[in-house]
Every structure is written in structure tokens, then in C-alpha cells.
A and B are shown apart, each in its own frame.
Chain A
Amino acid sequence: MRLWAQSHRCQKPRRVSSVLAAAFALVFLILGASQSASALPAFARKYGLRCSACHESWPMLNFFGQKFKDNGYQLMNDRDAPIWQNPGYWPVTFRIVPLWHRVSTNKVRVDSGDGSREAKITSSGFDLTGLDFHTGGTLEKNISFYVLPSSDATGSFHFETVMARLDNVFGSPWLNVKLGKFELDNLLSEKRPLTLTANGGIYQLYHFMPVGSGNIFGQIGSNQLGVEVMGHSLNDRTRYSASLLSSNNGSVGLPYGSNSYSAFFTGSQAFDAGRLGVQRLGFYAMVGEAPTTWLTDGGAPVPGSGTGNKGYSREGFVGQFYFGPHVDLTVVTQHGSDSAWFGQGYGDLIDGVAVNNNTPGTVLAAGSRAPTWNGVLFEPHYVYNPQLIFIGRYETIRMSQQSTPGTPSNLGNITSYTVGYRYNPIMTSRAGLAWHTEYNWFHQDGTSPVSNTNLTSSELLMGFDFDF
């Protein structure tokens, strides 16, 4: 589920030409397609637990909900197998948000008498998000599944998640195997955020691309195609996962490299800190290769022909800290690095994100370097009670090395603030409804479409987030 709101992502500097525009448009489209949160009254109906049992505030999981998910959507009692359900039980949940929002961007390219200029655009009105149809659960004890057709706000559907999972293989929670398209094992799940705005409803860290990069493949927030092995202790205090992924950012049909794979690893350990609560520390790392060389037909890249793999990596730490029953803080860091080839505009030629083809004999421009960056996000919550939660987020990404020498060091840097609250007027085991109010302010350095100055956008959103 995703808003298709007016966004800075569609307005890029003319200097970097249509490449960036296409790249960010693609990223936006991908993000738009991938923002599907999971909160399943279908599970609550099956087990008779309130939403609040598994969700700190739905859709964000608490530790109990995380364990339920890690167990393959099972409570690990004798009621897990579907044979225990009424034959009429069909584990389907839909979710959509009717809303009102006000969106403002300070610099949008508009026609002028002698070319183009920038203008501030602000619009407001009633709107909808996309629609998610979640269905998931168990096919048998210790065999789980999840299928999620998800649409944008116009009703155009795609498969956001399709996976089957063997749970507790050999009777051990330390071995679970999942195959399909699924969310990476991010401790701070972008599929279960407490935010909905275009820029606040995603984690910028999970999708960041340096300006001019042709690498769309390192987005840890996108659902990916592959196989995942994960395990956990009985109480979920210790967790690990390792995934082998196709380097295609979750796109079906083998559109990219002929032999390009990535890997994603996580590990974490939680601690009992008495009255403070459970504290968790972990890490993640994504390493992979993606193509830069394409066969062409009439000048157009041939899908599936990508070779000339180049590397990239994303790694960081995650901390989930609880300060008693009401306050918690999640911190995520990231250090990212792309091959210099990606930084110079090679990579996803299929979607037009990259503009250069690494044909035989191609050499990089002198002085080209691997673009690198660092980022961090802080997301505090104040849980007044299970029905009311206040949300904040500060996120920043700073380039530490631009690919092309002489590029302003801050080009593409991002700062984003988000505040809001969610109030659940009902709290049952049958359905979910939240009154959601959120404000996001987004800033990126040097990416306005005409003057290459700073771009700022903001969005105020309020609406009913409901599922059944």
C-alpha cells in the first residue's frame, strides 16, 4: 500500500538530465509498489488475540508479534494447523486508507517564457492509498505461507509478497527456510511502519541511491526474490537470517542480469533489562553484484542479458531500546557503498535508470570513485496506552564520497523529520481501525530541477487506516 503523492522524486536537476528523472521516477514507482504494511486481523481472528498482543501499534510488531512471525505465523500450540479452523475460515485481510493530505514542494520545474523555472507547488485534498489483500497463515503445522497482491491508488496490482516457508525444520526453531518474494529480515520493518506519507512512510536509508547512480539493486526496503534461512531461540531473544537473492529488486520475469545474486544477513540479540524492558542489538549486511553490461537490440537493452557484474554493499547496526512501558527508541545506521561503475551511471539500463552500457573496451572516467555514504535514523515512540501512540522520526544520510571528483560533497544528502500519532478507537480481535495523523518534512541537497539548489517538501496527512 502506498500513497501516490506528489514527490520530490519526480523532479531532478536538469544537469543530470533525464537519467536521474527516470531513476528517481523508477525508485518512486518501486517504492510505491512496495509499501505494503502487514497487520492481519485474519491472524487475530484465528487465535483470538487483540491486535495489541502482536503489535506495539498496528502494523508495527512488538516482540511477541515478531516471535509469532518468526515461528511461521504460529503460536506454537496445538491450534496452529488449519485443521483446527472452521472450514469457512479464509485468512484474508484487506487494508486501505481514505485520507486527506496537504503536499508541498518548494521547487518544481515549470515552463517559463524563455525556458524553465522553479515554482512552489502546494496542493491538498482527499485521497486514497493503494489496497492490500493479505492472505497468510499455515498450510499445515510448520508450513506457512503468505500471499499479498497489492495495488497502487489507481488499482493496478502486483504481487508484493508470495512465499512458502518450512518452519522449525527438524523440530528446531533455529532452522526455517523460506522461498519466494518476501520482505528482508529488517528488524525495523518498512512493511509495518507507523507512518504513511510519501517520504515519511518509507525509510530513506532502505532505498537511498547517490545522485547519478544506476544501481537500484541495493534497496533493502524492497521485497526481494530469493530464499531465506533464518533461526531464532525459543523466546526469540537471539535471531539470525541469511538470504540469497536475485539482484533484481524484486522484479519478476528475470529482467536483469543473467547471473546476478545478492545476499542479506542479519543477526541480533535481545536482553532482559528489568523494568526498562527488552533491549535488542543487531546488525545487517547486504552484499551483492548487479550487471552493468547489456546486449542490445536496436540499441535497446535485451532483458535478461545483463553481465559485467559490479559490487555494492549496505551494512549497519540496529538497536531497539525500551525505556519502560511507554517510551522506546529504534536506531538504524547504514554505511553504503556502490562500485564506481554504478556511480558513473552504469547499472539498470532496462528501466532507464542507468544511461551507460559497459560494452567491451569501456573504461571509467579518470578519477571515478566508489560512491559511499553514511546514514542514521532515530525513531522514538511514546505509547500512551495500547490505543494511542505518538511517533517521531529523524533520518539523515550524508554522502562521504561522491563518484565524480569535483561534485559538491553534499549533493544528494537527505534529512527527513516525521511526527504523528495513531489512535485506535477500537481494539479487538476482529478488525483494526486507526485515526492517523502525520507530518513529514523532507530535505535533499542540490537536487532541485533547475537551479540545482536544495529541494524541500512537506506533507500533512490524516485519515482512517483500517483493515479487516
Chain B
Amino acid sequence: MNSLKPMRFIGAIFFTAILGMVLAVGFAAPAFAQDAPDVGPTPPLVLKPMESHIGNITGHAAAAKSDYRRYCAGCHGDLGDANGENAVWLDPKPRDFTSATFKCRSTLTGTLPTDEDLYNTIQRGITNSNMPIWNTFTRQQRADLVAYIKIFSPRWDKEKAGDPIKVPAEPPVTIDSIAHGKLLFTKLECWKCHGPAGKGDGPSSGTLTDSKDNPIRPYNFALGKDDSRFKCGSTNQDIYKIFMTGVDGTPMPSFADVIQPNDAWDLVHFLRTLQINRHGKENEILSAAHGVIPPYVDKNPAPAAAPAPAPADNKSPGGGQ
């Protein structure tokens, strides 16, 4: 076979050029547009010059636009309204940033979280959900995304983040602290949702809904193992914060006005014993007591605790915003 004739060669080049241009313009041009063609019309989203401050890092919303679209929009939606194309398939549903109601905070219930709270949530992911652990991002990327999340709700324009609660030093775990924690677990009616053994099977467990009326299940402590995580962390300090700040948007209320810090730590110690497959100092002490939690005897009687804050309609105090 000889080389191609000149006209055929020119024809091939011409065809190639035309085909390439047509297809390049036809298909690639939409990519230069502001937003992807597959995610609906251009959203009426104002990219506010929002910032976040994580330590010495300043995050800028504008810098996270591409990352949000790449990693987050599929679930949280381009408008941050939890209407990404995948949201319908998720349980639990993704966070709706337009309401600025966040579960994991170090601030009191009903207040906005700190930048660090949002940063830590991105870094940590949320277990028992589809929210991955985004710890491969740079710190700057996470800070930028925190800033970006704030553009979706006007609350960030009007309100400041709440003040982080103070987490006092954890007292030693003792059989007494566990016993007191058990008493609080009963008095505060935690068992109504979480069940007497913490298996998430309390009498109210089947009736719970979140602030958007989606069914929601209480945490099952019994599934916990050594590497177990809660939605908002895995340490004793994280558990302490969870019930002192509440989990906004869910029926889990804040107990900050109900119990004292030391009582809260006792509750933490008891909750750890509900994680029967977890190796920890709480379960070691319980084992040393032959697995029996004795009745709590108050050696320093104090004024009676206020009644537990019953979740109205099984919804969070911070819900529905």
C-alpha cells in the first residue's frame, strides 16, 4: 500500500478539523458556563465574600466554589438546600445549609456553630450517614468550604456564632460515677429514645422525626466498638458536648440547663458502659464490679435537678429553623 494521495490526506485533515471544532464547541462550551448543565439552571446564588477563621487560616468562600461543586453539591445541592440529585436516596438526609441548623456544635442549642465546629465536621465526617471523612483535603480547602457553607443562609449575615461551651476536666471514672450516670440516664428519660440498654429501641424510638419530618433513629450505643464514633466525635469530651449542646435539627435536646458539669461527666461514664463491645476504662471498672452497677447513693445531697426538657413533638429545640 502506498502513501495516501494528497487530496485524501487533505480531506482527512479537513474532516478532522471540522469534526473537532464542531464537537469541541458543541460539547465543551457549556463547561465554560457558570454552572454544570446537568444540575439545572444557573442558580440564583450570590457568592458572598464570606470568610472563615480556623486558627491562623482564613478561608474564603470564593475559593471553595469548585470544591463544593466537585465534592458536596451531589448531596447538599448547588443551592445548599439538601436537594442534590443524590439526596433522595440518602438516609439520613444531607444537611440543609439554608436553615443554618447544625447538629455538631460546641455552642449552645439554637446558636450558630463556630467555624471550628464546621471544620471539624468536614474533617471527621459523620458516621451513620453518607458524609465521608474529608481528611484528604488541605486545611485551607476545609477552611474555604466552611466559608462557602455560610453563603447559603442569611443567618450568617445577621448572627454571630455562639460561644463555645466550656468542657471541664474529666473527673476520674469510678463505679460511683457510673452509677450516678445510670441514675441520670433514667431521670432524664434518655431511655425513652435510646432504650434501657442504649440499643436505640426505647418506646419513643419509632416515632422520632427530624426538623424536616424525616424519620430519625436514636443512637444505638450497643453497636459501639473500640473504633466507634458518634455523629459528632468519638471522645468523651465529644459525648459531653453532644448532650450539653443538643443535636439541633433532631429530637436530641440540650441538657445544659438541667445538669451540672460533674453530673454530665457521670452520664458520659455510664454511656460508655452501654458500649458493651468497647474496651475502655469504664467497662474495666464495671467488670471489676462484676458487671453490676450498684444503686447510686448521694453522699453530698444537692437541690433536686430540674425536670428533663421534654422534646416538643419529638423535635429538636433548634429544629425547623
Query: What residues of chain A lie closer than 8 Å to B156, measured between beta carbons?
Result: none
B140 touches A77 (CB 8 A): no
- Report which of A62, A272, A387 forms a contact with B138, defined as CB distance below 8 A: A272
B85 touches A119 (CB 8 A): no
Closest to A325 in B: B66
Query: What residues of chain B lie closer than 8 Å to A460, measured between beta carbons?
Result: 16, 20
Query: What residues of chain B lie closer than 8 Å to A90, measured between beta carbons?
Result: none
Classify the interface of chain A: helix, strand, loop or mixed.
mixed
- Report which of A77, A325, A388, A429 forms a contact with B74, defined as CB distance below 8 A: A429
A/B pair count, beta carbons within 8 Å: 138
Query: What residues of chain B lie closer than 8 Å to A66, measured between beta carbons?
Result: 136
Stretch at the interface among A120-128, A285-293, A308-316: A120-128
Q: Does B167 reach chain A (CB closer than 8 Å)?
A: no
B133 touches A75 (CB 8 A): yes
**A236–B34 Cα gap in the complex (Å)?**
32
B 23-35 to A, binary, CB cutoff 8 A, 1 in contact else 0: 1100110111000
B75 touches A48 (CB 8 A): yes
User: Contacts A122-B4, A124-B12, A235-B136; is A64 near B85 (CB within 8 Å)?
Assistant: no
User: Contacts A122-B9, A385-B31, A437-B23; is A236 near B136 (CB within 8 Å)?
Assistant: yes
Query: What residues of chain A lie closer than 8 Å to B296, measured between beta carbons?
Result: none
User: Contacts A77-B127, A425-B38; is A235 near B31 (CB within 8 Å)?
Assistant: no
Query: What residues of chain B lie closer than 8 Å to A274, measured between beta carbons?
Result: 138-140
**A75–B133 Cα gap in the complex (Å)?**
7
What's the least CB distance linking B5 to chain A, in Å?
Answer: 10
Q: Does A435 reach chain B (CB closer than 8 Å)?
A: yes
A50 touches B74 (CB 8 A): yes
What's the least CB distance linking A138 to chain B, in Å?
Answer: 15
**A285–B139 Cα gap in the complex (Å)?**
32
Number of interface residues of A (CB under 8 A): 52
A67 touches B138 (CB 8 A): no
Query: What residues of chain A lie closer than 8 Å to B125, measured between beta carbons?
Result: 75, 77
What's the least CB distance linking B132 to chain A, in Å?
Answer: 5
A235 touches B127 (CB 8 A): no
Query: What residues of chain A lie closer than 8 Å to B63, measured between beta carbons?
Result: 275, 325
B32 touches A78 (CB 8 A): no
**A384–B70 Cα gap in the complex (Å)?**
12
**A424–B137 Cα gap in the complex (Å)?**
23
**A119–B24 Cα gap in the complex (Å)?**
33
**A114–B38 Cα gap in the complex (Å)?**
62
**A52–B68 Cα gap in the complex (Å)?**
11
What's the least CB distance linking A434 to chain B, in Å?
Answer: 10
Query: What residues of chain B lie closer than 8 Å to A424, measured between beta carbons?
Result: 31
B residues 30-86 near A (Cβ < 8 Å) are 30-32, 36-39, 63, 66-67, 69-71, 73-75, 85-86
**A66–B136 Cα gap in the complex (Å)?**
9
B130 touches A63 (CB 8 A): no
Q: Does B297 reach chain A (CB closer than 8 Å)?
A: no
Closest to A75 in B: B132
- Report which of B3, B23, B131 forms a contact with A122, defined as CB distance below 8 A: B3
B4 touches A275 (CB 8 A): no
Query: What residues of chain A lie closer than 8 Å to B15, measured between beta carbons?
Result: 124
A residues 94-134 near B (Cβ < 8 Å) are 100, 102, 110, 119-122, 124
**A214–B25 Cα gap in the complex (Å)?**
47
Query: What residues of chain A lie closer than 8 Å to B287, measured between beta carbons?
Result: none
A423 touches B90 (CB 8 A): no
Interface centre among B24, B75, B135, B139 (most CB of A within 10 A): B135
Query: What residues of chain B lie closer than 8 Å to A385, measured between beta carbons?
Result: 31, 36, 66, 69
User: Contacts A121-B3, A386-B69, A387-B36; is A425 near B139 (CB within 8 Å)?
Assistant: no
B38 touches A48 (CB 8 A): no
User: Contacts A78-B128, A121-B1, A122-B3; is A435 near B28 (CB within 8 Å)?
Assistant: yes
Query: What residues of chain A lie closer than 8 Å to B16, measured between beta carbons?
Result: 102, 124, 460
**A275–B138 Cα gap in the complex (Å)?**
8
Q: Does A452 reach chain B (CB closer than 8 Å)?
A: no
Q: Does B257 reach chain A (CB closer than 8 Å)?
A: no
B38 touches A426 (CB 8 A): yes
Query: What residues of chain B lie closer than 8 Å to A387, measured between beta carbons?
Result: 31, 36
**A75–B90 Cα gap in the complex (Å)?**
15
Query: What residues of chain B lie closer than 8 Å to A53, measured between beta carbons?
Result: 70-71, 74, 132
**A388–B36 Cα gap in the complex (Å)?**
10
Q: Does A24 reach chain B (CB closer than 8 Å)?
A: no
Closest to B228 in A: A78
User: Contacts A325-B67, A423-B31; is A48 near B139 (CB within 8 Å)?
Assistant: no
B 138-168 to A, binary, CB cutoff 8 A, 1 in contact else 0: 1111000000000000000000000000000
**A425–B30 Cα gap in the complex (Å)?**
8
What's the least CB distance linking B19 to chain A, in Å?
Answer: 7
**A334–B200 Cα gap in the complex (Å)?**
57
User: Contacts A78-B128, A423-B28; is A428 near B74 (CB within 8 Å)?
Assistant: yes
A122 touches B75 (CB 8 A): no
A171 touches B227 (CB 8 A): yes
Closest to A106 in B: B3
Interface centre among A48, A52, A274, A429 (most CB of B within 10 A): A48
What's the least CB distance linking A74 to chain B, in Å?
Answer: 10
Given A77-B133, A122-B3, 16 other A-B contacts at CB below 8 A? Answer: A49-B132, A53-B71, A53-B74, A64-B134, A77-B129, A119-B3, A120-B4, A272-B140, A278-B136, A325-B66, A325-B67, A385-B66, A385-B69, A386-B70, A387-B36, A428-B74
Top-5 shortest CB links A-B: A388-B31, A50-B74, A235-B135, A48-B86, A120-B3
Give 19 CB contacts A-B under 8 Å. A50-B74, A50-B86, A53-B71, A75-B132, A76-B133, A77-B129, A77-B133, A124-B16, A171-B227, A235-B136, A272-B139, A275-B140, A385-B36, A386-B66, A425-B30, A425-B37, A435-B27, A437-B23, A460-B16
